[in-house]
Structure 1
Amino acid sequence: MTFATGKNEQIIMSKDTCFHCGLDTTYTKITFDDKSFCCNGCKTVYEIFSANDLTCYYNLQQAPGATPKDIEGKYNFLENPKIIEQLLEFNSDNTQIITLYIPHIHCSSCIWILENLSKLNSNISSSIVNFGKKTVRITFNYEGISLKNIVTLLSSIGYEPFISLDDYSIGKKEINRSLIYKLGIAGFAFGNVMFLSFPEYFQVGEFWLEQYKHLFRWLMFFFSLPVVFYSAQDYFVSAFKGLRSKILNIDVPIALGVSVLFIRSTTEIILNIGSGFFDSLTGLIFFLLLGKFFQQKTYTFLSFERDYKSYFPIGITKISDNKEESIQVYDIEKGDRLLIRNEELIPVDCILIKGHARIDYSFVTGESKTVSKQSGDKLFAGGKQLDGSIEVDVLKTVEQSYLTQLWSNDVFKKDKELAFTNITNSISKHFTITILLIAFLATIFWLFTDVSKALNVFTSVLIIACPCAIALSAPFTFGNILRILGKKKFYLKNASIIEQLAKINTIIFDKTGTITSNKETRINYEGLQLSDAEESLLKSTLRGSNHPLSRSLYNLLNEHNILTLDAYEEHLGKGIEAKYKNRNIKIGSAAFVGFSSDTAALNTAVHVSTNNRYKGKFTFYNKYRKGLSQLFNTLKKEYDLVILSGDNAGEENNLKKLLPTKTKLLFNQKPEDKLEYIKYHQTEGAKVLMIGDGLNDAGALAQSDVGIAISENVNVFSPACDAILDASKFNQLYDYIKISKSAIKIIKWSFLLSFIYNCIGLYFAITGQLAPVVAAILMPLSSISIVVFTTITTNILGRKLD
């Protein structure tokens, strides 16, 4: 029986086999849409695929939903709550998250079906695939679907997860050995083919020509078979998927070049008109895979550096012997008592001991609903506290790989990433069209000049112009730049941020906590004397806030007994209010606390009122960061500079003296005002870099083309940002932007180098003079030289930052 599965594709199936899984349907007699199914489950999956326009899933192979045998009862252990608790990454309210290792993930079609699980079951809210690690991270409502049912569902569509009860760290099974096997086979074949090609290179006479010529050529052919059909298969699959999606990706010309090399070489030895280009063919694939292997090793190394070597320079407050100290998050140990302030991220799984917890898990689940927790409840890493300060006991040491995953969560991928086309894809599209045009024009020319050379010229152009060097340039350059910047305490979310950073033309700074240093601020109090009870309430309230002014003032006040507040609320951009027994307090702007004055404020001030009675104000005399004036004067030569501050205009005159004359200064800006300002200027063509403290500026950081959060040992990490800059390196911001621009230049220079190689090769190809030895030299030489060039130049850039 023949079943149509797409516009131009068909699958041949027996009338007695299930269309979905391929099992026998002789006795079931279940049909739908002229197709046979072995059970209602397979029929239901097909119906869901059809209803959601996902039937191209069946284009992958016959019966792609083949269910692994003997799964009945296999996953009954997933009904055990203790085992489930160990396997789950997140478990709160009615939402659970698990990361499953799926060995069968092998191509873009696998990613496509696994990231559409929500269409198969509405209780699955999201599923995100990590192709390199062969894992899928699934967020689901456990009241609607159990973990066991999810695993069974995955198995039923052909993606049975690997779950080892000996090792609960599911995501650690990440070694992609298939690449090593493919590289090994390609290298073995390449070495042997080169050895067999030596007599041809050096024109060895009688021995070669009379006795072993045909044997050697056929041996080269057989050595190339596993290279083309196994080692190079990923390039063909990627090219096919790209073409089917009407995208000319970098793998299209690579697959075309490999195909032409193999077909032409095979034709030459069959017709006994030449030795072909098997040396170039196997060498090309070997060097491409070698580049991919080094790229994978580079990013694995980077991942290690990111996860465990201060990738997040954020701190957390540890309570020990009634004293508070700031420690790095990776220094947290099981059993530690931590203080989590308002708007702070919970870095570890812990138990709530003290305080009122209202947790926002949107960073983890993507849903903004908050949950309230009581003393004794378990809190999960990734949640944000929204109701004052709490104290927790640590259950697990921090897994920064989880924070890395949280930062890169697809929940936070915005239009700015979707609309961004990276440099390799942009150039590869034009490169492919150009090469095809050259091939056709050259062929037409030779058809009118010398017909015998036309086919030779067409294939030669496609062979020599394979863009392997282009494919290697960007990964090696960006990988090395990420490593270099990380060592200099500038941490980028991913490589695409380098390209986006190089395109900016407008830089916007927050003021407090961004261009000012919290550690060196001088504070003066003016007003009525605060009683011990009022000062204790003030300090307890400030303890819950992460705003830079709150932190500075909190550290200034005398030691007092910390109170467990009855109510706490922080109004972003305005102030804080709290209540303890019959006393309430407001801290913030003059208008917020109910104070009005005819005199304009000359400095940043925090006003205080208790029980609706105005008490006074703390005036802050800002200490600006080292090298601020020099940095702004350097940046002003190339960028439009703006200060967007939520504070009053008291510092305007000081800033005008300190900063370049044309720097825009805007004060009294609420968080939403900053966001709208950026959005408006983006519509005018501005490419905006926003630099803030990660707290009030979260919306602005997310809206900007690149958002950088300044970190000064405060745990206000925001997944909305694209990069984290250590505050001590603030004065080197221009150097970091400059190195991003230099990285793009390196890639373009490497493209030019590749272009020169291609021009030389194209000359031989177009004129019909491409000999095997020329292709054998030029193709691998271009790949090796590009890798060496990008490595050396990026390391030179890194030394300039020292």
Structure 2
Amino acid sequence: MSTTNCYHCGEDCANTPIDFDDKSFCCNGCKTVYEIFSTNNLSYYYDIQSAAGATPKIVEGKYDFLASESIVEKLTEFNDGAMQIVNLYIPHIHCSSCIWVLENLNKINPAVSNSQVDFPKKTVRITYASDITSLKDIVLLLAHIGYEPYISLDDYDQKKKSVNRSLLYKLGIAGFAFGNVMFLSFPEYFDLASNKTNGGEYWLNEYEGVFRWLMFTFSLPVVFYAGKDYFISAFKGLRSKILNIDVPIALGILVLFVRSTLEIIFDWGPGFFDSLTGLVFFLLLGKFFQQKTYSFLSFERDYKSYFPIAVTRILSNGKEETTQIYTIERGDRLLIRNEELIPVDGILINGNAKIDYSFVTGESEPVYKTSGDKIFAGGKQLNGAIEMDALKTVSQSYLTQLWSNAVFQEDKSSKFQTLTDSIGKRFTIFVLSVAFLSAGFWIYFDSSKALNVFTAVLIIACPCAIALASPFTLGNMLRIFGRKKFYLKDTQTIEQLAQIDTAIFDKTGTITTSKKSVATYEGMQLTEEEESLLKNTLRASNHPLSRILYDLLSEQNIETLDEFEEHIGKGIEGTLKDSRIKVGSANFVGKNQTEASESTAVHISTNEIYKGCFVFKNEYREGISELFNAMSKTIQLAILSGDNEGEKQRLEQLLPKLTPLYFNQKPSDKLQFIKSLQEQGKKVMMVGDGLNDAGALAQSNVGIAISENVNIFSPACDGILDATRFTELFSYIVASKKAIKIIKWSFILSLAYNVVGLYFAVTGQLEPVIAAILMPLSSVSVVAFTTVATNLLGKKLK
């Protein structure tokens, strides 16, 4: 009898299908979801992958507890009264259709402004207008369309993580079975059962069948539980007409199991159960290592290692100190300067807060806050300095998730990732071609060997080593770079770094250091009132020159400015009562400069009257000449500076000859410069201080922000380099190139094993002992090679 499957979920409709719109559904729930999708122009959901949905199961009143404000406050990551952000774990997320429909929730509920799926973690992060809809409405919507979220109020995060322990269970089962099957296979390896002693059959002959059926029993949970994800992935890939790397892996597992089972049923031999269980075990071991790598990179759990930024803490005696942000505790008073990110949730105490929450919500419209209002981590202060009391520690705050925010996700595709996909497709075609051609050859010459050869090729050519090479190599390199105070966003950044052929550097705060800079004042004497206004205006700015000058000036009483404004690339101005001060370039403060100054200077005017300037002698980082000379041999270099040409002669002495130097560059000029290089086919790395360079960092193929002692973290960057390791930058680029070579060498190593194995398989000589040795050995060798090679590479780094 023919069966009718549900158009939405794919389940059997039994004898009572519900027909609607020329389609069959198993229940009213699936029919309702289809209606919701079709009426909201989301029918493409079924085109991406057929029968991808789940039957919705709604229990009346189940989510009534979400009407409680205290519970909503606990579950949401951002909640300012008008907008809320929630991150929900949804177990049913499993394919591209799920991602597509969940990221288009705004078509069903217009109050949703953004929804972003994290596929590996099976979470969706939803931003919605809380004055129009509610968390309860959002959750009910998800449940109605078959994506019911998992919500637990008791230790929510830990409960959510426990759901993903299945990989550990699968690895344990595969390892247990692999060990036992190897033990049971020893008589077969050494052919003990056929040896005769004292004129009689060896006693193992009596138990040969028992051992083989025990091996079969151990293989069942390995194939149907531990290895099921490979079959699912391969099936979905084929259904979407994609030959991914899991297709030949699933094919190898299936053929191993079927042939081995047939061998013991018909007493043809012992089968390949040792190779089968070993293959699945080592594949899962690679996946487990990859998961551990991502866990290591979880900024919530290992935050202090990956954000070496600082914040200014105000002590009880009024003194200000710079401290690592992971030391912030509840109740600390913090100073947040202009253009600085708020590191933790807190209460605004002093100052005029004009906060840009686009890093958090994607909304660019700034929000104004007054004293006593709650402010949230991830916002950027746009209107001078403010003081706040911390309500949380950094590990609990929203800042830790900014780096992966969809707002900052550019299409910086990895060449190696494309190569991996290409290898998966080509390898599958190659293996199937060899299998069919070999089988055809043996059908013609010796038909008794044809089936054995066909299955042997599929068994021995499984690309498990290829699947392991990338996560082991790049994951280990991320860990090594982290120990060297070079913090990268993800493994793709390593691959992009290996392709860099052009490096662009900012000057102030990047190749110069504020630690040793000095300044001399030239001009009219400032009054006490003007000095106080200058000091408090500089206090609000985060520009490197402002910070230097602020530290050099004598102490003044701290006062909250009435107005503050920073003009990017020009200067700052502040107003207190009837006095206004401008600090910045000569043109900005109103001084006509007829010729280029021979030095870097910060000019000052009060109430439109020019007063004078502080002349700086830039202090360049130690070892900068050696770094640039080494880089110039293989990489094109350039300096883009917003300052004047005063340092041009000195820079020409420090840098390699003919290094292009560009001065008076606005942030938009830097971005366009990088864009023009990319249009010429260049792979560009931008190194800046993370302040005025945010656009250039985002535009470049790899954007590196230098971190010294200020809160300069920019979500637009791909990596953070501790300023003390600046001179090691080139060695990190070289290490990235070598890491890619390690991966390529591991491919060659894997290919060598496949060539040897295919020789035995194609010629009909594949014995169980050969398969048992070659298949696990290739995986172990690749893992050992990549681990040893990357560790040796790491030891060479300073």
TM range (shorter): over 0.9
| TM-superposed deviation, 1:413 | 1.0
| TM-superposed deviation, 1:103 | 4.3
SS in 2 for 1:243: helix
Within the candidate set 308, 318, 324, 1:313 is matched to: 308
Residue equivalent to 1:94: 82
Find the aligned partners of 2:156 and 2:218 in 1 and give their Cα distance: 42
Find the aligned partners of 2:765 and 2:625 in 1 and give their Cα distance: 62
Correspondences of 1:100-499 after superposition (within 5 Å): 100-105=88-93, 110-111=98-99, 113-169=101-157, 173-174=161-162, 176-203=164-191, 204-205=193-194, 206=201, 211-303=206-298, 307-320=302-315, 321-399=317-395, 402-417=398-413, 421-499=417-495
Give per-residue Cα distances to partners, 1:767-791, cap 9 Å, x unaligned. Answer: 1111111001111111112111111
SS in 1 for 2:113: strand
Residue equivalent to 1:66: 56
Find the aligned partners of 2:624 and 2:282 in 1 and give their Cα distance: 47
Q: One-letter code of the match for 2:484? A: K
SS in 2 for 1:334: coil
| TM-superposed deviation, 1:293 | 2.0
**Higher mean C-alpha deviation, range 730-739 or range 52-61:** 52-61
Give per-residue Cα distances to partners, 1:358-415, cap 9 Å, x unaligned. Answer: 1111111122121111111100001001111111111111117743321122321112
| TM-superposed deviation, 1:106 | 5.5
SS in 2 for 1:417: coil
Correspondences of 1:489-568 after superposition (within 5 Å): 489-568=485-564
TM-score by length of 1: 0.93
Give per-residue Cα distances to partners, 1:135-166, cap 9 Å, x unaligned. Answer: 33222222332111122223333443333333
Kept in 1, the 8 Å contact 2:300–2:396? The answer is no
After superposition, the Cα gap between the structure-2 partners of 1:252 and 1:560, relative to the gap in structure 1 and judged at 3 Å, is same
| TM-superposed deviation, 1:661 | 0.4
After superposition, the Cα gap between the structure-2 partners of 1:33 and 1:208, relative to the gap in structure 1 and judged at 3 Å, is farther
Residue equivalent to 1:24: none
Give per-residue Cα distances to partners, 1:438-484, cap 9 Å, x unaligned. Answer: 33333333343333323322221221111111111111111111111
**Higher mean C-alpha deviation, range 498-507 or range 71-80:** 71-80
Find the aligned partners of 1:335 and 1:197 in 2 and give their Cα distance: 64
Residue 743 of structure 2 corresponds to residue 755 of structure 1: no
SS in 2 for 1:562: coil
**Higher mean C-alpha deviation, range 482-491 or range 557-566:** 557-566
| TM-superposed deviation, 1:307 | 2.5
Q: One-letter code of the match for 1:413? A: Q
| RMSD, matched Cα | 2.5
**Higher mean C-alpha deviation, range 640-649 or range 734-743:** 734-743
Give per-residue Cα distances to partners, 1:208-260, cap 9 Å, x unaligned. Answer: 89644444434433332222121111111222223333433221211121122
| TM-superposed deviation, 1:592 | 1.4
After superposition, the Cα gap between the structure-2 partners of 1:280 and 1:188, relative to the gap in structure 1 and judged at 3 Å, is same
SS in 1 for 2:137: helix
Kept in 1, the 8 Å contact 2:300–2:400? The answer is no
Find the aligned partners of 2:558 and 2:130 in 1 and give their Cα distance: 39
After superposition, the Cα gap between the structure-2 partners of 1:283 and 1:113, relative to the gap in structure 1 and judged at 3 Å, is farther
Find the aligned partners of 1:418 and 1:149 in 2 and give their Cα distance: 39
Q: One-letter code of the match for 1:53? A: Y
Find the aligned partners of 1:418 and 1:800 in 2 and give their Cα distance: 26
Kept in 2, the 8 Å contact 1:17–1:38? The answer is no
| TM-superposed deviation, 1:681 | 0.6
Find the aligned partners of 2:400 and 2:239 in 1 and give their Cα distance: 33
| TM-superposed deviation, 1:3 | 6.0
After superposition, the Cα gap between the structure-2 partners of 1:499 and 1:80, relative to the gap in structure 1 and judged at 3 Å, is same
SS in 1 for 2:413: helix
After superposition, the Cα gap between the structure-2 partners of 1:244 and 1:782, relative to the gap in structure 1 and judged at 3 Å, is same
Kept in 1, the 8 Å contact 2:354–2:369? The answer is yes
Find the aligned partners of 1:306 and 1:12 in 2 and give their Cα distance: 44
Q: One-letter code of the match for 1:640? A: Q
| TM-superposed deviation, 1:565 | 1.6
Structure 2: which 5+ residue stretches go unaligned? 195-200
Q: One-letter code of the match for 2:386? A: I
Kept in 2, the 8 Å contact 1:566–1:581? The answer is yes
Kept in 2, the 8 Å contact 1:183–1:289? The answer is yes
After superposition, the Cα gap between the structure-2 partners of 1:397 and 1:507, relative to the gap in structure 1 and judged at 3 Å, is same
Find the aligned partners of 2:60 and 2:385 in 1 and give their Cα distance: 49
Q: One-letter code of the match for 1:254? A: I
Find the aligned partners of 1:110 and 1:51 in 2 and give their Cα distance: 12
Find the aligned partners of 2:447 and 2:311 in 1 and give their Cα distance: 75
**Higher mean C-alpha deviation, range 439-448 or range 385-394:** 439-448
Residue 687 of structure 2 corresponds to residue 691 of structure 1: yes
Residue equivalent to 2:723: 727
**Higher mean C-alpha deviation, range 772-781 or range 137-146:** 137-146
Find the aligned partners of 2:466 and 2:260 in 1 and give their Cα distance: 24
Find the aligned partners of 1:294 and 1:644 in 2 and give their Cα distance: 41
Q: How many residues align?
A: 786
**Higher mean C-alpha deviation, range 273-282 or range 733-742:** 273-282
| TM-superposed deviation, 1:324 | 0.9
Q: One-letter code of the match for 1:166? A: D
SS in 1 for 2:487: strand
Kept in 2, the 8 Å contact 1:307–1:400? The answer is no
Find the aligned partners of 1:101 and 1:48 in 2 and give their Cα distance: 26
SS in 1 for 2:621: coil
Q: One-letter code of the match for 2:295? A: T
Q: One-letter code of the match for 1:224? A: S
Find the aligned partners of 1:404 and 1:427 in 2 and give their Cα distance: 35
Find the aligned partners of 1:373 and 1:401 in 2 and give their Cα distance: 19
Residue 769 of structure 2 corresponds to residue 773 of structure 1: yes
After superposition, the Cα gap between the structure-2 partners of 1:174 and 1:722, relative to the gap in structure 1 and judged at 3 Å, is farther
| TM-superposed deviation, 1:94 | 2.4
Identical columns (%): 64
Kept in 2, the 8 Å contact 1:5–1:56? The answer is no
SS in 1 for 2:648: helix
| TM-superposed deviation, 1:113 | 4.7
**Higher mean C-alpha deviation, range 124-133 or range 481-490:** 124-133
Find the aligned partners of 2:214 and 2:47 in 1 and give their Cα distance: 40
Find the aligned partners of 1:666 and 1:571 in 2 and give their Cα distance: 20
Kept in 2, the 8 Å contact 1:133–1:174? The answer is no
Find the aligned partners of 1:548 and 1:400 in 2 and give their Cα distance: 29
TM-score by length of 2: 0.93
Within the candidate set 73, 78, 91, 1:85 is matched to: 73
Find the aligned partners of 1:73 and 1:790 in 2 and give their Cα distance: 54
Find the aligned partners of 1:198 and 1:117 in 2 and give their Cα distance: 57
Give per-residue Cα distances to partners, 1:283-319, cap 9 Å, x unaligned. Answer: 1111111222233234324437972433211100011
Give per-residue Cα distances to partners, 1:743-764, cap 9 Å, x unaligned. Answer: 1111111111111111111111
After superposition, the Cα gap between the structure-2 partners of 1:430 and 1:208, relative to the gap in structure 1 and judged at 3 Å, is farther
Find the aligned partners of 1:232 and 1:290 in 2 and give their Cα distance: 12
Q: One-letter code of the match for 2:132? A: G
**Higher mean C-alpha deviation, range 677-686 or range 227-236:** 227-236
Within the candidate set 38, 41, 45, 2:36 is matched to: 45
